[in-house]
Amino acid sequence: MVNAINTALGGLQTASRGVAKAAENIADPAKQDRIVEDIVDIKISEAAYKANAAVIRVTSDMQDELLKTFDKEV
């Protein structure tokens, strides 16, 4: 479960960097010719961020259920 959380955290960081890079491009007047691509990149990063956050939530829920099961048996 720790691996799933670590992988999801890495995904969150990657998505955050994607948004930051696209935002820099949008704010840079010299790069205004690719604004549509940058907006698409932001939306893709948003979806990736949500997916990785869901992985963390589900992993946490699974861990809680596993610990409850273990407590009942011990």
Residue 4 has pLDDT above 90, yes or no: yes
For residue 70 the two structure tokens come to: 């273990």
**Residue pair 37/18 in contact by the 8 Å Cβ criterion:** no
- Least confident among 2-6, 12-16, 45-49: 2-6
Length reported for the chain = 74
Residue 74 has pLDDT above 80, yes or no: no
Domain limits of the chain? 2-73
Average pLDDT over the chain, rounded to whole? 95
**CA 34 – CA 27 distance, rounded (Å):** 11
- At residue 72 the predicted structure's pLDDT band, cuts being 50, 70 and 90, is confident
Write the CA distances from 9 to 2, 17, 29, 56, 57, integer angstroms: 10, 12, 32, 8, 12
